[in-house]
């Protein structure tokens, strides 16, 4: 309705947006809608990870299955990710080794459940979060293939932390989730330096392209 449109416009301006930026965002969302695979995913080579990223773009714009223009796109993406996670055999480690894929897909499922509270999203969200909790290192970090060794990887950790935070806010009931979040906070603090940089995979390690700058 008109009041919601005014509210949205106010929020866009408040956070630095404009009619020009919103036009660009809508063009991107419409392109994603047109290029979505029939099963609800995106990409041929990495449909699960791209499915998660694709869904996140629509959720970030406030789109849900009830949205007039993008509702079906969102619904198909949610169903695809939920079905994929539900189909994972927990007795096997193949999916567990896909740390980026699981982190991204779980993050998208958590945001989707948090926004909509659609019941079928909760079990796959919690399943993905369970994999993340299991894959966390003792020091609170994460590595490729959820390896429990001395090496850690901040880019891998970032997706897992985002997923855990979204799951917690959404109301996930996963044993060990809060403890894992607290450990991840300590881990990130431990690899943050006084100049505002973060280590990539070892204290002070990584190229300039792999060092983030903190503004805190």
Q: How many residues does the chain have?
A: 216
* Residue found by looking up tokens 């079990």 in the block: 123
pLDDT digits (tens, 9 = 90+) for 93-121: 555 568 999 999 999 999 999 999 999 99
Please tell me the distance from the alpha carbon of residue 45 to that of residue 68, in angstroms, as a whole number: 30
Question: Where is pLDDT greater, at 199 or 66?
Answer: 66
Angle, in degrees to the nearest 10, between helices 99-116 and 154-170: 20
Q: What is the pLDDT of residue 95?
A: 56
pLDDT digits (tens, 9 = 90+) for 174-203: 999 999 999 999 999 888 877 777 788 876
Q: What is the pLDDT of residue 13?
A: 83
Question: Coil, strand or helix: which one is 126?
Answer: helix
């Amino acid at each position: 309705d008109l009041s919601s449109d005014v509210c949205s416009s106010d929020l866009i301006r408040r956070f630095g947006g404009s009619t020009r930026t919103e036009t660009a965002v809508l063009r991107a969302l419409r392109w994603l809608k047109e290029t979505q695979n029939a099963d609800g995913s995106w990409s041929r080579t990495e449909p699960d990870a791209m499915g998660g990223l694709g869904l996140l773009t629509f959720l970030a714009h406030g789109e849900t299955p009830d949205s007039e223009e993008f509702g079906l796109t969102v619904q198909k993406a949610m169903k695809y990710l939920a079905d994929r996670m539900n189909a994972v055999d927990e007795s096997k480690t193949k999916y567990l080794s896909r740390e980026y894929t699981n982190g991204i897909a779980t993050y998208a499922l958590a945001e989707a459940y948090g926004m909509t509270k659609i019941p079928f999203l909760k079990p796959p969200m919690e399943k993905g979060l369970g994999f993340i909790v299991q894959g966390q290192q003792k020091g609170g970090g994460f590595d490729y293939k959820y390896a429990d060794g001395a090496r850690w990887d901040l880019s891998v950790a970032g997706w897992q932390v985002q997923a855990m935070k979204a799951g917690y806010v959404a109301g996930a009931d996963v044993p060990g989730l809060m403890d894992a979040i607290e450990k991840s906070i300590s881990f990130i603090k431990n690899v943050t330096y006084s100049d505002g940089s973060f280590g990539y995979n070892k204290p002070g390690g990584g190229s300039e392209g792999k060092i983030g700058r903190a503004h805190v």
